[in-house]
Each structure stands twice: as structure tokens, then as C-alpha cells.
């Protein structure tokens, strides 16, 4: 019984550690992506398209890295929406369409803000 | 579709291991908290099988958490009397000294017809034959008959009985179980000699063989019923 108790406590600690890691990773990576999107937004607002192109490439490579872990933790439908949005931004930057790019950026930012908001352990999310 | 199959296999294994570690009680007669956990685990495993948009970890973590809670509950109910009373409740007397306890019947919301049905299933059609009846914490009804109505046993008749152990299966489906042979202090060679005395030259021809505590060998070959 004592061994079982110790084993279960170790399993509980591992489970909580995995959950905590998943939570902090989601929060930090969403924040990083939001910062990158804000920088990208600034570049587009100033019509600095070469800089925007560079930043969107970085954003896509970061997204690919994050995507592989988020896929294990978050709803796949939400992930697909974000993936489509990021690809749309990339194409709109190529086309140098300022208005549409800014709209898409605003939507993507909202999507990204919702992810940590939904994961945060607060009363409304629990119930 | 392939993902659903892989997920089903993973979840099946996880649920199987979970119930296996939870213990035999989990698949036998359940306590209220055990029933709740069993239903929840089944539901948690079923949803991500069909909905591949839900990450598997969203099901695995709750299943693991329920498993952990279940083990803690089991430890509490084993170690603490108070914990056991709070979590599992305590048995209720429905018939005491041959009389129905009305208050307890009302509290447990069991009507007389239901009680009579349970008693009939237990082999007591006449309520007058019962000394005590309890509703146990897992919901089953146990009955203690009046001493004049209980089955006669050898002690009542003052008959001496010999020790009766458990027969040990030593061959199942043509395969020898050496551990069981060791338990009774015999070897495979002895078994081969014994079988050859019955005209069986190969162990693989034996479908089932067991040895009782008196040393009697029972065997049955494939497609025949010897002994």
C-alpha cells in the first residue's frame, strides 16, 4: 500500500509537471507570436514591405515549430484556423495589399489572444 | 480514419491498463465512487476516438487524473474508518431480528416488493425465515437466515471432513504449467510417466489435466473424454 501511494504520488507529480509545461509553453509561445505579429503590423503600416517579408518568413518558421507542440495540446480546428490565417497573411504581404493584410493580422491576433485566454484557469473557463 | 484506429488502440490500452491497475473490485461490484469513475473514464475514452480534432492528451490527462484519484480514494477507504464511511457509506439493516425496519426501508427508498424480490433471488421466499438482511454499500442485499432455516453443514451433523485443497491445473491446451507442478512437489518427468501409464505418449495430446489435493490426476485428451 505504501509503495502504491508513493508510485501514485510520483505519477501525480509527473502529470502536473506535464500539464504545467504545456500551459506555460502555450502562454509563452502565444505571447511571442503576438509580439511578432505586432512588429509585422508596424512594418505594414509604414509600408516597409521588404521588412514585412522578412518578418513573415520568421513568423512562419516559428509557427511551424510551435504548431508541432500545440497540435498535441490544443483543439486541431483552432490550429487549422490559425494556420490558414498565417498563410493568408503571407500571401497578402507578397501582393503588398496593406488593407487586407491589416484586417487579417487583426483577426490572427484575436485568434492568438483567445488561446491563452481559454487556457487560463479562471472561473468562467472552468464553468 | 487511420488516426481513429490508432487512437482507438491507444485509448483501449490506456483504459485496459487503468482498470487493471485499479484492481479486481473495479470490474466486480462497484462502490458509488468507483461506478462514477468507471462511467467517466469510459466517456473520456469514447469522445476522442470519434472526434480527431480533440488532442488525445485532453483525454489521457483526465483519465490519468481519475486513476490517481481512484487510487487515493482506495487508500483512504482502506486506511481510515471515517474516510470509508464518508466515501462508501455503511451497510443498512433492512430486517433486524426477523422484523422489517421501516425507517431504514424508507431511507434507502426500497419498497417491500423490491426487498421480497431480492430475497427470492437469494433463495428465501418467506420473509419469516430471515433473521437479518442488509443492504451493503455496493447496493447488494445480503441475507442471514434464522438458524433453523439455514442449510445444514457437516458440523451440525458432527461429521468429520478431510482437508479440501484447490485442484492445480497442470496441463492446459497441451502446455504444461511447471509452476503448478512445482507447487505440489512434482516434476514434468513424473507427469510424463503418469500419462504414459494411461497410454498417452505426448503431453501435447492432452487438452486439460489437473491434480487434486489427494493426488488424483484428472485428464482429458483432445477430441475424447478419458478418465
Closest CA to A73 of B55, B191, B23: B55
What residues of A are in contact with residue B65 (Cβ under 8 Å)? Answer: 15
Domain boundaries, chain A: 2-120
- ipTM (interface pTM): 0.77
Beta carbons of A87 and A68 less than 8 angstroms apart: no
Q: Which residues pair with B221 in a beta bridge?
A: B206
Distance CA B156, CA B154 (A): 5
Q: Burial letters for A39-69: b for 16+ Cβ neighbours within 10 Å, e otherwise? A: ebbebbeeeebeebbebbeebeeebeebbee
Distance CA A33, CA A26 (A): 11
- Answer whether A1 sits within 8 Å of B75, measured CB to CB: yes
Give the fold, CATH level 3, of A2-120: 1.20.120
What residues of B are in contact with residue A77 (Cβ under 8 Å)? Answer: 53
Q: Which of A19, A72, A75 sits opposite B53 (nearest CB)?
A: A75
Residue A114: pLDDT band by 50, 70, 90 thresholds?
Answer: confident
Q: How far is CA B80 from CA A1, A2, B72, B75, B219, in A?
A: 13, 14, 12, 8, 48
Whether B92-145 and B168-221 share one fold: the answer is yes
Q: What is the CA radius of gyration of chain A?
A: 19
- Answer whether B65 sits within 8 Å of A15, measured CB to CB: yes
Q: Could you list the mean pLDDT of each consecutive 10-residue stretch along chain B, which spans 227 residues?
A: 81 85 65 82 86 86 91 87 86 92 90 91 91 89 91 90 87 90 88 90 90 88 65
- Answer whether B72 sits within 8 Å of A77, measured CB to CB: no
CATH code for the structural domain at B92-145: 3.30.240.20
Report H helices in chain B: 2-22, 32-50, 57-79, 81-88, 102-107, 112-121, 178-183, 188-196
Domain boundaries, chain B: 2-86, 92-145, 168-221
Whether the predicted model's global pTM rises above the 0.80 cut: no
What residues of B are in contact with residue A75 (Cβ under 8 Å)? Answer: 53-55
Distance CA A67, CA A65 (A): 5
- The pLDDT assigned to B224 comes to 57
Superfamily of domain B168-221: bsu07140 like domains (3.30.240.20)
Helix/strand/coil for B209: strand
Q: What angle do CA B13, B16, B18 make, to 5 degrees?
A: 105
- The pLDDT assigned to B25 comes to 60
Amino acid at each position: 500500500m505504501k509503495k502504491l501511494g508513493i508510485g501514485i504520488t510520483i505519477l501525480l507529480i509527473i502529470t502536473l509537471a506535464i500539464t504545467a509545461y504545456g500551459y506555460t509553453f502555450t502562454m509563452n509561445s502565444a505571447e511571442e507570436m503576438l509580439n511578432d505579429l505586432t512588429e509585422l503590423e508596424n512594418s505594414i503600416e509604414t509600408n516597409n514591405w521588404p521588412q514585412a517579408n522578412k518578418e513573415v518568413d520568421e513568423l512562419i518558421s516559428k509557427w511551424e515549430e510551435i504548431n508541432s507542440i500545440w497540435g498535441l495540446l490544443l483543439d486541431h480546428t483552432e490550429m487549422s484556423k490559425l494556420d490558414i490565417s498565417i498563410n493568408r497573411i503571407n500571401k497578402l504581404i507578397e501582393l503588398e495589399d496593406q488593407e487586407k493584410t491589416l484586417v487579417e493580422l487583426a483577426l490572427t491576433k484575436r485568434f492568438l489572444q483567445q488561446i491563452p485566454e481559454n487556457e487560463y484557469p479562471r472561473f468562467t473557463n472552468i464553468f | 480514419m487511420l488516426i481513429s484506429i490508432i487512437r482507438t488502440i491507444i485509448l483501449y490500452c490506456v483504459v485496459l491498463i487503468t482498470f487493471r491497475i485499479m484492481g479486481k473490485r473495479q470490474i466486480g461490484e462497484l462502490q458509488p465512487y468507483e461506478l462514477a469513475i468507471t462511467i467517466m473514464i469510459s466517456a473520456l475514452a469514447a469522445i476522442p476516438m470519434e472526434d480527431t480534432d480533440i488532442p488525445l492528451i485532453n483525454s489521457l490527462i483526465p483519465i490519468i487524473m481519475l486513476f490517481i484519484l481512484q487510487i487515493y480514494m482506495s487508500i483512504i477507504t482502506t486506511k481510515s474508518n471515517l474516510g470509508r464511511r464518508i466515501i462508501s457509506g455503511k451497510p443498512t439493516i433492512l430486517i433486524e431480528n426477523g422484523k422489517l425496519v421501516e425507517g431504514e426501508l424508507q431511507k434507502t427508498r426500497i419498497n417491500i416488493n423490491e426487498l421480497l424480490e431480492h430475497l427470492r433471488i437469494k433463495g428465501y421466499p418467506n420473509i419469516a425465515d430471515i433473521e437479518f438482511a442488509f443492504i451493503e454499500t455496493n447496493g447488494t442485499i445480503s441475507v442471514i437466515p434464522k438458524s433453523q432455516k439455514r442449510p445444514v453443514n457437516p458440523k451440525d451433523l458432527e461429521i468429520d471432513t478431510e482437508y479440501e485443497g484447490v485442484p492445480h491445473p497442470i496441463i492446459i491446451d497441451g502446455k504444461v504449467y511447471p509452476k503448478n507442478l512445482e507447487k505440489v512437489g512434482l516434476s514434468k518427468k513424473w507427469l510424463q510417466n503418469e500419462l504414459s501409464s494411461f497410454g498417452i505418449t505426448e503431453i501435447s495430446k492432452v487438452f486439460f489435466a489437473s491434480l487434486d489435493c489427494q493426488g488424483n490426476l484428472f485428464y482429458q485428451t483432445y477430441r475424447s473424454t478419458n478418465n
